Structure 1
Amino acid sequence: MTRAPLRTVRPQDLAAVYTQPSVQLTRLVRQGRVRRAAPGIYYALPDDRDAAWLPTLEALAAGAATALYGERVPVLMHLTAARLLGALPRAIAQAVVAVPGRHRDLPVLDRPAGVIRFVTRDVDALDATLVRTDLGPVLATGPEQTVLDLTKRPGLGGLPDECRSAVRTLLPRCAPERLDELARAQRMVGTLRRLRTEHPDSEDVVG
């Protein structure tokens, strides 16, 4: 498990190692060396962390999505990317991940509340960069992509005020030409137009 991407696996991923992976994972959970991230998904604690340590929700979501879809496939997006970019000062109880296929939302099992939300996207078309998390590196959208996504779907996750605040914080870091380029390539010209209407004071950024 420590060699798996983001130290996160499903029982079937260990079939070549254990004859009864679920039994072995249950034993490791009891020993405090492994935790359940979500139904059917487990992660190994880093060697230098004690049993009370918890990864960030962003890291846990990245690990769970990677276990489901493969390394460097999922992309952290929307408010989750805004959080990683420093545009969302407080932690929230949900993480949003772009994946190439439909998947139901998953409850987080290693803390009292939390949910991983999956959004079907063409992940290869997203403007994303590799960022570090508590469990390892993962792709996350950059400022321009994040601003467009937040503007297009402010209701995703039920936190529209946080979305608008994150957009205001990120806009000074956005390149106008990159916003135009992404909007055209991803059929989000209407979204960019709404962004310009909602943030007229940022005319030097959004054009």
Structure 2
Amino acid sequence: MTADVDIVRAVARAPLRTLRLKDMPELARNTWRATDRLVEQGALVRLTHGVYTAPPDGRDGRKWKPPLEAAALALATARFGAREAALMGVSAARHWAAIPRAIGVATVAVPRRGYAPLNIEGGGLVKFVPRRMEALELVLERTGLGDGLVTTPEQTLFDLLGRTDREGLGREVAGAIENLTAQVQPDEFAEIIARARIVPSGARDMLNRLEKSNG
């Protein structure tokens, strides 16, 4: 039982309370069996194959599940490292309350390409979007599993304007674009446009609209 406690503590101390099985210290004779047992007991939650999170505040993992956006960011952080992943696009819009209802897809910016989408146990698909992290406007925000990076409202609006594949979320994206305008500062949005190598169609029209509404 001491090994079980040590495993839970190791997961809880990891960034966003999430750790891959391959990164766990050798605390038990068979760590794989131990984590399965801890999931059955509700001490851990399996996000996807080989990735586990520790429910916060002593919650029972058999009843509690993390929000999809928090789970997606935690999963990407476990894979790429702390501060090496960020909620973006529709997931950032969800964080900023620009999309009111839950959706089944989460998008996370990551520093490398070539990673296939992953299904979260309990529902939801996580898509990894390769981006130069240093080129994004990011802020540290509280999620259901701890502090993580999220694109700013300005960056989120810019990214949503550039979406060509809306994965059946056209209505949600259009609504998010409208809802974000109330949170966006025109000067910060203008800086993102000025730095961008590719500017989405409609971004400059949006800037004109923001400047007029704030004039």
Q: Same fold (TM over 0.5)?
A: yes
- 1:177 counterpart residue number: 187
1:107 and 2:119 matched: yes
Q: C-alpha offsets along residues 49-89 of structure 1, whole Å, 9 cap, x if unaligned?
A: 23311211111111101100001110100010011111111
What's the CA shift for 1:31? 1.6
Q: Residues of 2 paired with 1:47 and 1:180: CA distance?
A: 41
- 2:141 counterpart residue number: 131
- Structure 1 residues 42 and 178: alpha-carbon distance in aligned structure 2, compared to 1, 3 A threshold: same
Q: Residues of 2 paired with 1:186 and 1:73: CA distance?
A: 20
8 Å contact from structure 2 (residues 73, 108) kept in 1: yes
- 1:6 counterpart residue number: 16
What's the CA shift for 1:35? 1.5
Instruction: Provide structure 1 residue ranges, at least 5 long, that are not aligned to the other structure.
Output: none
Instruction: State the TM-score, normalized to the length of structure 2.
Output: 0.86
Q: Residues of 2 paired with 1:202 and 1:114: CA distance?
A: 34
Instruction: Provide structure 2 residue ranges, at least 5 long, that are not aligned to the other structure.
Output: 1-10
1:43 and 2:53 matched: yes
Deviates more, 1:48-57 or 1:34-43: 48-57
> What residue identity is the alignment partner of 1:204?
K
8 Å contact from structure 1 (residues 129, 142) kept in 2: yes
What's the CA shift for 1:172? 2.5
Match of 2:203 among 182, 188, 195: 195
Match of 2:85 among 74, 89, 113: 74
Instruction: State the TM-score, normalized to the length of structure 1.
Output: 0.89
Aligned length: 203
CA RMSD of aligned residues (A): 2.1
- Structure 1 residues 136 and 157: alpha-carbon distance in aligned structure 2, compared to 1, 3 A threshold: farther
Q: Residues of 2 paired with 1:205 and 1:157: CA distance?
A: 31
**Which secondary structure state, in structure 2, belongs to the residue aligned with residue 140 of structure 1?**
strand
**Which secondary structure state, in structure 2, belongs to the residue aligned with residue 73 of structure 1?**
coil
Match of 1:52 among 26, 44, 63: 63
What's the CA shift for 1:118? 0.6
1:95 and 2:106 matched: yes
